[in-house]
Amino acid sequence: MIYVGIDIAKLNHFASALSSDDEILIEPFKFTNDNDGFHLLLSKLSSFEKSNIIIGLESTAHYGDNLVRYLVAENYKVCVLNPIKTSVMRKNNIRKMKTDKVDTFIICKTLMMQDSLRFVTYYDLDLMNLRTLGRFRQKTIKQRTRLKIQLTSYVDEVFPELQYFFKSGLHQKSVYALLKEAPAPKEIASMHMTHLAHLLTG
């Protein structure tokens, strides 16, 4: 078998490959976390039989998710390792070095030492996509909350009475439409009643 270890980071990854006999088949190299980098990785692996390759990487944050999706779509066997397993191997590393290049070999050796390996499936990819959507939702909620606070602060400063005109408070579509067109009291006061009613009921 050929064991490929990938050390994941935000912008750039490192990868290397060892044979079952611990022979270095691919020296550690850097590739970018994008399609160009992924193509470079595949070009390095192209001289080996795909069925003989096992690719391993640590489960760290979400920076490796796109790479995992890409490799699974290309029908490679991919194993996401618990960092606890690689840390044990790292402690046994005689040189006690912590570099991206050394870590790729440690990941390779961790793959070799496992009695059994669980490979990423399309079901796992669906879960990854759900986690991605969950993170996006949380980020969006935080942004919305921050913007609501900023809007409330602005209204408190320039038109504090406005919020008391609406039973449901400031944060509703009709109020947003009003403030978008007339962000100051004078502009609201000069607005034609028909148009004002249309904004508040539209």
> Are both 101 and 185 inside the same structural domain?
no
**pLDDT tens for residues 67-84?**
999 999 999 999 999 888
Indicate the pairing of strand 2-7 with strand 53-58: parallel
The pTM of this model reads: 0.70
Are residues 153 and 71 part of one domain?
Answer: no
User: Could you read off the pLDDT of 116-142 as tens digits, one per residue?
Assistant: 899 999 898 898 889 889 989 999 999
**How far is CA 186 from each of CA 14, 96, 160, 189, rounded to the nearest angstrom?**
61, 70, 13, 5
Are 111 and 133 within one domain?
Answer: no
Considering the domain architecture, whether residues 112 and 13 belong to the same structural domain is answered as yes
Shared domain for 40 and 116, answered yes or no, is yes
Domain shared by 99 and 149, yes or no? no
Beta bridge partners of 15: 6, 29
111 and 12 belong to one structural domain: yes
Residue 165's pLDDT is: 84
d(CA 4, CA 52) in angstroms, rounded, equals: 11
Per-residue pLDDT of the chain (202 residues; tens, 9 = 90+): 999 999 999 999 999 999 999 999 999 999 999 999 999 999 999 999 999 999 999 987 789 999 999 999 999 999 999 888 888 877 776 555 556 678 999 999 999 998 889 999 989 889 888 988 998 999 999 999 999 999 999 999 988 888 888 888 889 999 999 999 999 899 988 989 999 998 888 7
pLDDT recorded at residue 98: 54
Examine the fold and report which residue of 97, 120, 143 is the final residue of a domain before the chain moves on: 120
Exposed e or buried b per residue across 69-81, where buried means at least 16 C-beta atoms within 10 angstroms of its C-beta: bbbbeeebbbbbb
37 with 99, same domain: the answer is yes
Domain boundary (69, 99, 120) is at 120
Give the domain range for residue 192: 126-201
Among 120, 155, 187, identify where a domain stops: 120
The CATH number of residue 96's host domain is 3.30.420.40
- Dihedral of CA 170/172/178/181: which sign? positive
Give the pLDDT score at 18. Answer: 97
Indicate the number of domains in the chain: 2
44 and 98 belong to one structural domain: yes
User: Quick one: DSSP state of residue 184?
Assistant: S
